[in-house]
């Protein structure tokens, strides 16, 4: 995924009300930018951080895209992972999800839910793919979630139900950074999600994790990360 226009470097003044961030662009007055991330943004929203903004034609003139954290670039836009994963599957860069003829996005399933990607092929069961954005890094590992996510636990249960019905179900954790050695579930931040993850895996829900190569020019899926789950 290439950014369609050059990103603008800036400094983060503060992030607030979930979707707003006051930012300082060199040579300009501070402005309010759109923050496309509803999570806690633990570790990637420190005031004074170096950030990059995408110009927009909306009410807010900029959208926050990247931040420098722990010395490297991190993508904070939770709207990108679905497209990044679909792009990687189509390009053959996710062998775990190869061999399907077509993909549909945002298909209704479960109880008032939409699956991020539904993969189909004539010779195999449908594959339900749920994509989660990951940006939290602790102890050299990528972790999800960064705050309590009741919705995320609900999705795990619904994926398990799809497996019980004869389908395949895969959780894809996409780490929008390149400095992590492995992935794990942040059980201390959301014990209920961690328990739901263990139950879903026992029920046959698969899980894979990939990190990303990130620059101010674009983002793409890069290498697989091992998944470590505490006993």
If asked whether residues 121 and 63 sit together in one domain, one would say no
Give the model's pLDDT for residue 197. Answer: 97
Domain boundary (75, 103, 133) is at 75
Instruction: Look at residue 130 and tell me if it is in a domain.
Output: yes
Distance CA(40)–CA(143), nearest Å, equals 13
If asked whether residues 107 and 181 sit together in one domain, one would say yes
3-state helix, strand, coil in the chain (%, to 5): 15, 45, 40
Instruction: Look at residue 151 and tell me if it is in a domain.
Output: yes
Q: Residues 66-116: pLDDT tens digits?
A: 999 999 999 999 999 999 999 999 999 999 999 999 899 999 998 888 999
If asked whether residues 55 and 116 sit together in one domain, one would say no
Instruction: Look at residue 175 and tell me if it is in a domain.
Output: yes
What DSSP character marks residue 2?
B
CB 167 within 8 A of CB 128: yes
If asked whether residues 62 and 108 sit together in one domain, one would say no
Q: HEC profile for 49-111?
A: CEEEEEECCCCCCEEEEEEEECCEEEECCCCCHHHHHHHHHHCCCCHHHCCCCEEEEEEEECC
Using alpha carbons, select from 1, 38, 4, 2 the residue that is nearest to residue 20.
38
Q: Residues 113-126: pLDDT tens digits?
A: 899 999 999 999 99
Phi, psi of 68 (to 5 degrees): -95, 120
The whole domain housing 13 covers 8-75
Its pTM surpasses 0.75? yes
If asked whether residues 44 and 93 sit together in one domain, one would say no
Domain boundary (23, 49, 75) is at 75
What's the number of domains the chain is made of?
A: 2
Place of tokens 């879903």: 200
If one counts every other C-beta atom within 10 angstroms of the C-beta of residue 192, the result is 13
Report CA torsion sign: 195, 199, 202, 206. negative
């Amino acid at each position: 995924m290439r950014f369609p226009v050059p990103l603008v470097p800036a400094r983060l003044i503060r992030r607030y009300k979930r979707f707003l961030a006051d930012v300082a662009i060199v040579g300009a007055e501070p402005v309010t930018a759109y923050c496309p991330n509803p999570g806690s943004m633990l570790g990637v929203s420190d005031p004074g951080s170096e950030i990059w903004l995408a110009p927009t034609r909306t009410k807010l003139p900029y959208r926050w895209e990247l931040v420098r954290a722990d010395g490297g670039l991190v993508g904070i836009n939770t709207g990108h992972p679905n497209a990044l994963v679909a792009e990687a599957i189509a390009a053959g860069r996710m062998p775990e999800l190869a061999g399907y003829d077509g993909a549909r996005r945002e298909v209704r399933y479960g109880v008032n839910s939409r699956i991020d990607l539904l993969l189909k092929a004539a010779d195999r069961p449908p594959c339900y793919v749920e994509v989660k954005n990951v940006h939290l890094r602790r102890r050299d590992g990528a972790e999800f979630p960064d705050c309590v996510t009741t919705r995320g636990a609900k999705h795990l249960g619904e994926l398990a139900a799809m497996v019980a019905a004869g389908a395949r179900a895969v959780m894809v954790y996409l780490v929008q950074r390149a400095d992590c050695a492995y992935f794990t579930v942040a059980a201390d931040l959301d014990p209920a999600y961690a328990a739901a993850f263990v139950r879903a895996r026992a029920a046959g829900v698969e899980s894979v994790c990939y990190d990303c190569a990130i620059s101010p020019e674009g983002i793409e899926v890069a290498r697989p990360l091992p998944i470590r789950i505490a006993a």
